[in-house]
Amino acid sequence: MFIDIFHFTHKLFGYFKMSIEDYHPEAFINLLNKKKLFLWNLMPINAHLFTFRCSLFSAYKVVSEAKSAGVKLTIEKGIGLPFVINKYRKRTGLMVGTLISMLIIMLSNLFIWDVQIVDGDMTPELYAALKRVGCYSGRYIMDYNVTDAKMQFLLENDEYSFFAININGTIAMVELKKRVLPDIEEYDYSYCHIVASDDAQIIDITAQRGDPVVKVGDVVEKGQILVNGETMDKHNVIHPVRSIATVNAKMNKLIEIKIPLKQPEKVYTGNELTKTRIVVFGQQINLFFAEFPDYELCDVESSFDRIKLFNMIRLPIDSFAEKFTEFRIEEKVLNEAEATLIAEKSFDNDIKIYVNDGQLISKTYTTKINTAENCLVLYGDITFIKNIAVVEPFDYVPIPDETTSIPQD
């Protein structure tokens, strides 16, 4: 690394390759050394001829020392950037082009080229939120206050608890952490009974608090009290409580599903249109004239791409494309097998909804074609066990004790 920097510095500031010819060239080298003139790559060609290199800044002193010492010194060539510039100084176009390109490179370093999310993906919502706080491709870096941006982002977006922007060169690395709230369930202290959510037959009942008023095997109706929240002690005093219980019960459900034999179907016409817009340094450029195509019905698929040069160098150009695919609606006539398949799927979905966390015991169904309504009808019957306990709050009004007298003023 040291050698690389050493060579790079010499190439940048320029140096001369010189040769000296003398009876004893070592003496001249010693002289230059005593004058503290830095030489490198000293090489003997023969006993009286040495070549060496010296920098552009010390070359004048070396030449004047050689003159005063009467040593024959030859400048063989100049190497480095100053000589290249000198060589092409008359090619105005090349020089101007080089200067402009250097200026563009310098200026481009003053803007954010890319915004990357650390350990996450960029979503459209996040893109918009970051743009509001000034973190977008094309933002001028020098006057960008990341502390203010951080405060603004956290105030505007409650769902995040941590936000940081690290600008590495021209890339803004955004670090985010979602706010995680503690899972605290607020305890309800109101008094309540446990009632049945459906008509069912009790399979088992476990009351943690409250007095059960039904027993296993009882058939209950929807809304009937299962566990009483007004408990009574041995002195016949009523104590209201918040009842807690699990009441598993067996129940039946009849399900009827109608599937029309004529169903609308999406048929793609094959017409497609892609509209692309590019965003260069935050400025949007539409590569189309009309915003929407002339399709009556169409699907829209959006895509987002970051343009890279040679698939390697990230450019500050984002490409947004919307693909429109035309379709029309046609009526499809289902046969009985197809309609039955759809009905069975719908029946399974209904079972999931009814049973939920419970246990399915049995299911039976029959299908029938209803020619009058031109549909297939599925008649289903399911038996399942589930927890039917639901809370029902009540207002407790204490009965005043007749033995206690309240003094009246």
Partner 1 sequence: MFNTKIIKSRAYVELRGNNEALIEGCDLLKSYTEDEILLSLDNVDLKIKGRKLLMEALTDDRIAITGFIISLEYVY
- Closest to partner 1 by CB, 11 vs 306, is 11
d(CA 337, CA 24): 110
Chosen residue from 43, 75, 85, 104 binding partner 1 by CB under 8 A: 43
d(CA 267, CA 73): 89
- Residue 76 is a binding residue for partner 1 (CB under 8 A): no
Residue 206 neighbours by CB distance under 10 Å: 12
d(CA 61, CA 259): 102
- Residue 191 is a binding residue for partner 1 (CB under 8 A): no
- Closest to partner 1 by CB, 45 vs 341, is 45
Q: Which of 264, 258, 262, 263 is nearest to 370 (CA)?
A: 258
Query: Which run of H or of E encompasses 267?
Result: strand 262-280
The distance from CA 281 to its chain's CA centroid, rounded to whole angstroms, is 21
Stretch that binds partner 1, among 31-39, 82-90, 157-165, 258-266 (CB under 8 A): 31-39
Chosen residue from 7, 13, 41, 88 binding partner 1 by CB under 8 A: 41
- Residue 38 is a binding residue for partner 1 (CB under 8 A): yes
- Residue 30 is a binding residue for partner 1 (CB under 8 A): yes
Query: Which run of H or of E encompasses 158?
Result: none
238-240 and 230-232 beta bridge pairing: antiparallel
Task: Report yes or no: 108 and 170 within 8 Å, Cβ to Cβ.
Answer: yes
Interactions with partner 1, residue window 103-132 (CB under 8 A): none
Task: Report yes or no: 157 and 166 within 8 Å, Cβ to Cβ.
Answer: no
- Closest to partner 1 by CB, 58 vs 157, is 58
Nearest-approach distance from CB 46 to partner 1, in angstroms = 9
- Residue 42 is a binding residue for partner 1 (CB under 8 A): yes
Chosen residue from 10, 29, 295, 340 binding partner 1 by CB under 8 A: 29
- Closest to partner 1 by CB, 56 vs 241, is 56
Q: What are phi and psi of 92, to 5 degrees?
A: -60, -45
Nearest-approach distance from CB 50 to partner 1, in angstroms = 7
Nearest-approach distance from CB 53 to partner 1, in angstroms = 10
Residue 192 neighbours by CB distance under 10 Å: 20
Stretch that binds partner 1, among 8-16, 28-36, 220-228, 255-263 (CB under 8 A): 28-36
Listed in sequence order, the residues at least 6 apart from 397 whose beta carbon sits closer than 8 Å to its beta carbon are none
Task: Report yes or no: 29 and 36 within 8 Å, Cβ to Cβ.
Answer: no
- Closest to partner 1 by CB, 51 vs 276, is 51
Chosen residue from 7, 13, 47, 223 binding partner 1 by CB under 8 A: 47
Chosen residue from 9, 12, 13, 33 binding partner 1 by CB under 8 A: 33
Chosen residue from 15, 50, 153, 191 binding partner 1 by CB under 8 A: 50
- Residue 26 is a binding residue for partner 1 (CB under 8 A): yes
Nearest-approach distance from CB 68 to partner 1, in angstroms = 20
**DSSP-derived secondary structure for 121-144:** ---HHHHHHHHHTT-STT-BSTT-
Nearest-approach distance from CB 174 to partner 1, in angstroms = 46
Stretch that binds partner 1, among 39-47, 284-292, 300-308, 371-379 (CB under 8 A): 39-47
CA-based max dimension of the chain: 138
Question: 342 to each of 258, 273, 377, how far by Cα in Å?
Answer: 10, 33, 11
Question: Bridge partners of 263?
Answer: 332
Nearest-approach distance from CB 78 to partner 1, in angstroms = 20
For the beta sheet containing 298-309, the strands, ordered from the edge strand earlier in sequence to the opposite edge, are 283-286, 262-280, 313-333, 298-309
Unique residue bearing structure tokens 């209201």: 240
Stretch that binds partner 1, among 36-44, 112-120, 165-173, 338-346 (CB under 8 A): 36-44
Chosen residue from 8, 13, 40, 57 binding partner 1 by CB under 8 A: 40
Q: Which residues of 282-303 are buried (b: 16+ CB within 10 A; e: fewer)?
A: beeeeeeeeeebebeebeeeee
Stretch that binds partner 1, among 11-19, 22-30, 60-68, 263-271 (CB under 8 A): 22-30
Nearest-approach distance from CB 42 to partner 1, in angstroms = 4
Stretch that binds partner 1, among 40-48, 73-81, 116-124, 178-186 (CB under 8 A): 40-48
Which stretches of the chain bind partner 1, using CB under 8 A? Answer: 26, 29-30, 33, 36, 38-44, 47, 50
